[in-house]
A and B are shown apart, each in its own frame.
Chain A
Amino acid sequence: MTSASQNSSRSGPRTSSGGFSLAKLLLEGRAFLALMVIILVFSMLSPYYFSLGNFLTMASHVAIFGILAVGMLLVILNGGIDLSVGSTLGLSGVVAGFLMQGVQLQTLGVVLFPPVWVVVVLICVLGALVGLVNGVLIAWLKVPAFVATLGMLYVVRGAALLMTNGLTYNDLGGKPELGNTGFDWLGFNRLFGIPIGVLVMVVIAIIGSIILNRTAFGRWLYASGGNERAAELSGVPVKKVQVSVYMLSGICASVAGLILSSELTSAGPTAGNSYELTAIAAVVIGGAALTGGRGNIRGTLVGAFVIGFLSDGLVIIGVSAYWQTVFTGAVIVLAVLLNAIQYRRRVKLPGSNGGPSTSPQQAGKARTADPAHEKIAG
């Protein structure tokens, strides 16, 4: 967790225990290590892999998942899960496509062509609304996050299919005379040679990092994910925090949807199918705990790069798509396995002051007590 490591680095002398620290470093930096290994291996297997051009191309693939994963991280830190982001991504693209084709106002008999920035804002509002529904269902109506967002996965996907009747919007370029050009810019243009999508991901990651580490909201998010009851009794507005994370996740999904449809120059209602799972995988590979309270942006981004660089690498060396799926799955399981080792270890090892740590049983009790209580209260 970021705030922890930052605090500890400033808390004066801390004993580091020689031989152990290398293993610890490898364990904690494992996602980064995995990324290095992936780059190394594929560079040896293919002459095309290790080049700036290829890295930028792969990075723009990663951007979609990276943006989704940042939103997902906020939800997971809060102890929740958001399965609806893939559908939200799809709906966002479709609605953007719809807006770019012009909105017919029958009563006035005019067709409105909103400029691209208006489209972007509206789509972000749309994502926030989907998140709001998720958040209200979960925080106020006590629907388990898994079920609420699973429901929204279907509802939102259905809405996207209904809007287009299953068809795809192909012409997203806009027309100069209508003043709505520029949608392509998101997916095709580059700034200083870097694809816009990648820059957007970086900006979102920086904003996310500031929210998590430098705002009261971020601390509340970690606290209510770590122990909701304790956070509530400390005056943390846990419900507002919960609703907010789903809204932020929804906005991230919308942004990803805009970039994806711009890249593809088309908006299909089935875009982003199962992307939520990739986003969750990136968060998990990045070292976040699905039980909430632990994880950070840096790890999550590295997680997204691991998945992206691995699958693109497999494509480049010509491994079948079926095998890619198998590899990705194996990496996810391995990551969770290592997470389990890391957190078990953290509990068992005494702190640097030599004081004994909480017994795993107690910690476990504290954690499992939460949902049980919620059920009673709800």
Chain B
Amino acid sequence: MNAAPQFEPAAGDTVLAARNIVKSYGGTHALKGVNFDIRRGEVTTLFGENGAGKSTLMKILSGVETPTSGSIELDGRPVVFSSTVDARDRGISIIHQELSLAPNLSVRDNIFMGRELRGATGLDFAEEARQTRMLMVDLEEDIDPMTLVQDLRLGQQQIVEIARALSVDSRILIMDEPTSALSATEVEVLFKVIRDLTARGVSIVYISHHLEEALQITDHAVVLRDGTITATGKAKNIDLEWIVRNMVGENFDLGSPPTGYAFGDVALSIDDVSIADVSGSDRLVVDRLSLDVRAGEIVCIYGLMGAGRTELLECVAGRLPVTGGRVLLEGDDISRLSIAERINRGLVLVPEDRQRDGLVQTMTVGANLSLASIGAFVKGMLLSRSQERSLIDGTIRDVRVKTAGAGAPIGSLSGGNQQKVVIGKMLTTDPKVMLLDEPSRGIDVGAKAEVFRLLGERAAQGLAVVFSTSEVAECLGIAHRIIVMRRGRISAQFGADVTKEQIMAASGEAVLV
């Protein structure tokens, strides 16, 4: 596939480099001038919290996305990748965090998708199957090439994804969270494969949330925070504490828990709730979890990806059905109510993905803000425009949305202000309990602080707040109580005086001694 390069750099030389890469999505800057080197025959590990920009950087290096500014150098010469195929032809391949397999096709067809082997008469299926079998032997996995991908469990699908990247014979292999669904033995095998590859001169970029695991394989560590590289170091000079310190940052004030009032009665009670996996496996994504939240209390749920945070919040809000257990709002069982009925009773959700679930892109800022409470302005049959208007203007002031006016298109706002619109929209329904799934995702530090301050103010007025996060620093801001979720269960509960290390240890991310 890749043309053999004339000039073979020695081990440790830079093969691929990102120079001053900036990537913006509308108002948010995912990467702010990043320099990143990939060295020949080494494993470079990229550390960083969710939203730090790791995946964005990898997508740029593999041709999935183009940078807003900055350049990429391959073997010291600037290159522009027009597509992933272009990048692959130059020897760069990527294992995506989200699986990119076609579930309706066989393992063999997935591995050779887009670069099928030609034989004398049409495609050479036999050769494809033979190579697939060899890859599976390498990966010590007993998977028949003709098995449909949809019949494999998630970990095996990830193996297929890895096999596909290996089959291309790349010089540079980017692995974005390759082990999230793998068992411990499978991880061992993968690491053996990685060492084989580096010995042959292949460069690896490795990304993982499991810091200890990543530390085992890494030669060179790079830490990314808020779109900037904060530290780099050789494996022998670094330890877990160093990584955590640089990942999380120190001077990051997200406020403190509001005080000076007593909590009210239990507002939300999650009672022994289980939630089945949507994809149909027997696994419970949330496993007999119980949690009480009082009026005025702010509870933070921390957990890694796949810990079940999103499912829990969506279930409480009514989007997912409970498999077992009950959800009580002020003592009433609401487990069978629709989303709208729960909103009427005072339980609202600010969803994780505000583009997909939070905003109606075709409507104005004002229409988005009044959407949840629009039924309240109906006089006779018609809407009272003046009432709607004053509610919208009041909310814009209240949650401090920076906008040209209620008539501005929602897309004209920055990520942080869009998030405030989603929160403001739900606040107009006068809720008693507000759930927020990763409210700080994709917004900058200033907006984060503002969002948390807003939540603190509302909690002091008696709102029960439950928010989830995958950034440790955010647990240490306004939350009165921190819940750590791991594999669908609560693995630890802390007060506001907890340390980052304790939280990360409970989540299974890092065990510090």
The answer to whether the Cβ of A11 comes within 8 Å of any Cβ in the partner chain is yes
**B404 at interface by CB-CB < 8 Å:** yes
Q: How far is the CB of A98 from chain B (nearest CB, A)?
A: 35
User: Contact: A14 with B367, CB < 8 Å?
Assistant: no
User: Which of A152-160, A275-283, A309-317, A359-367 is found at the contact surface with chain B?
Assistant: A359-367
Most buried by A among B349, B362, B404: B362
Binds B, one of A173-181, A221-229, A249-257: A221-229
Cβ contacts under 8 Å, A139 to chain B: none
> How far is A225 from B381 in the complex, measured between Cα atoms in Å?
22
A325 within 8 Å of B (CB atoms): no
Is the beta-carbon distance between A359 and B25 smaller than 8 angstroms?
yes
Q: Which of B360-392 contact A (CB under 8 A)?
A: 360-364, 366-367, 370-372, 374-375, 377-378, 381-383, 385
Task: Judge whether A16 is part of the interface by a CB distance below 8 angstroms.
Answer: no
Choose from A8, A363, A365, A376 the contact partner of B278 (Cβ within 8 Å).
Answer: A376
Name the one of A10, A346, A353, A363 contacting B408, with C-beta atoms under 8 angstroms: A353
Tell me if B26 is interfacial: C-beta within 8 Å of chain A.
yes
| Contact partner, B409, options A4, A233, A289, Cβ 8 Å | A4
Contacting pair B363 A362 (CB below 8 A) = no
- Collect the chain A residues with CB atoms within 8 Å of residue B317's CB: 233
Cross-chain contact B405 with A215 (CB below 8 angstroms): no
Query: How many residues on the B side are at the interface (Cβ–Cβ under 8 A)?
Result: 52
Please tell me if the beta carbons of A233 and B339 are within 8 angstroms of each other in the complex. Answer: yes
A262 CA / B367 CA spacing, docked (Å): 42
B411 on the A face (CB < 8 A): yes
CB of A339, distance to nearest CB on chain B (Å):
13
CB pair B378–A366 under 8 Å, yes or no, is: no
Which one, A46-54, A115-123, A234-242, A300-308, is touching chain B? A234-242
Complex Cα spacing A235 to B412, Å: 25
A236 touching B357 in the complex, CB below 8 Å, given contacts A351-B408, A353-B404 = no
Out of B355, B358, B402, B405, which one reaches A11, CB within 8 Å? B405
Q: Are B339 and A232 in contact (CB under 8 A)?
A: yes
Contact B355 A362 (CB under 8 A): yes
- 1/0 per residue A1-38: CB within 8 Å of B? 10110011111101000000000000000000000000
A358 to B368, alpha carbons, bound, how many Å? 15
Closest chain B residue to A358 by CB distance? B411
Which positions 325-363 of chain A face chain B at CB distance < 8 Å?
Answer: 346-347, 350-353, 355-359, 361-363
| Chain A contacts for B414, CB-based, 8 A | 355-356
- Binary interface profile of B, 10-32, with partner A (CB < 8 Å = 1, else 0)? 00000000000000111100000
Question: Whole-angstrom distance between the alpha carbons of A270 and B343 in the complex?
Answer: 48
Bound Cα distance from A1 to B340, whole angstroms: 26
Contacts of A366 in B (CB 8 A): 355-356, 359, 361
Given the known interface contacts A1-B362, A7-B364, A226-B363, the answer about A216 and B408 at a Cβ–Cβ threshold of 8 Å is no
- CB-CB nearest in chain A for B411: A358
Which B301-355 residues sit within 8 Å CB-CB of chain A? 317, 319, 339-340, 343-344, 349, 351, 355
Check if A223 sits within 8 Å of B367, measured CB to CB.
yes
Alpha-carbon distance A356/B317, docked complex (angstroms): 32
Which residue on chain B has the smallest CB distance to residue A222?
A: B363
Chain A residues, Cβ within 8 Å of B413: 351, 355
A231 at the interface (CB under 8 A from B): yes
Known: A14-B405, A350-B412. Contact between A356 and B27, CB under 8 A?
A: yes
With A231-B371, A236-B371, A358-B26 in contact, do A363 and B361 touch (Cβ < 8 Å)?
A: yes
Cβ of A61 under 8 Å from chain B: no
Q: Is the CB of B360 within 8 A of A223?
A: yes
Closest Cβ neighbor of B68 among chain A residues: A359
**What 0/1 readout, one digit per residue, does chain A (204-233) give for beta carbons within 8 Å of chain B?**
000000100011100110110111011111
Residue of A nearest to B375 (CB): A216
Residue of B nearest to A6 (CB): B407
B residues 431-464 touching A (CB-CB < 8 Å): none
Q: Whole-angstrom distance between the alpha carbons of A223 and B381 in the complex? A: 19
Cβ-defined contact, B371 with A234, below 8 A: yes
Tell me the B396-424 residues at the A interface (CB within 8 Å). Answer: 402-409, 411-414, 417
Q: Which residues of A contact B375 (CB under 8 A)?
A: 216
**Residues in B whose Cβ lies below 8 Å from that of A226:** 360-363
| Residues B408 and A8 in contact, CB atoms below 8 Å apart | yes
Q: Are B26 and A8 in contact (CB under 8 A)?
A: no
Partner of B381, one of A215, A229, A230, A369: A215
Q: Give min CB distance, A213 to chain B, whole Å.
A: 8
A239 to chain B, nearest CB (A): 9
Whether a CB of chain B sits under 8 angstroms from the CB of A287 is no
**Which among B367, B372, B426 is the interface contact of A222 at CB below 8 angstroms?**
B367
CB distance from A167 to the nearest CB of B (A): 43
Docked Cα-Cα span, A159 to B481, in Å, equals: 65
> Chain A residues near B408 (CB, 8 Å)?
8, 11, 351-353
A358 to B333, CA, bound (A): 40
A235 & B339 in contact (Cβ 8 Å cutoff): yes
A86 to chain B, nearest CB (A): 28
Residue of B278, B372, B403 touching A353 (CB-CB under 8 A): B403
Residue of A12, A237, A293, A357 near B360 (CB, 8 A) is: A293
* Residues of chain A within 8 A of B403, CB atoms compared: 353, 355
Residues in B with CB closer than 8 Å to A229 are 351, 356-357
Is the pair B364, A4 in contact by a Cβ cutoff of 8 Å?
yes
Q: List 28 A-B contacts (CB under 8 A).
A: A3-B367, A7-B364, A8-B407, A10-B407, A215-B378, A216-B378, A220-B374, A222-B362, A222-B363, A226-B361, A229-B357, A233-B319, A233-B339, A233-B349, A235-B339, A235-B429, A293-B362, A351-B411, A351-B413, A353-B402, A353-B404, A355-B402, A356-B412, A357-B411, A358-B361, A362-B25, A363-B355, A366-B359
| Interfacial residues, chain A to chain B (CB-CB below 8 A) | 1, 3-4, 7-12, 14, 210, 214-216, 219-220, 222-223, 225-227, 229-237, 289, 292-294, 346-347, 350-353, 355-359, 361-363, 365-367, 369-370, 376
Q: Which residues of B contact A (CB under 8 A)?
A: 24-27, 278, 317, 319, 339-340, 343-344, 349, 351, 355-364, 366-367, 370-372, 374-375, 377-378, 381-383, 385, 402-409, 411-414, 417, 425-426, 429
Q: A235-B340, A358-B25, A363-B411 are in contact. List 5 more A-B contacts (CB 8 A).
A: A10-B407, A233-B351, A355-B402, A357-B26, A366-B355
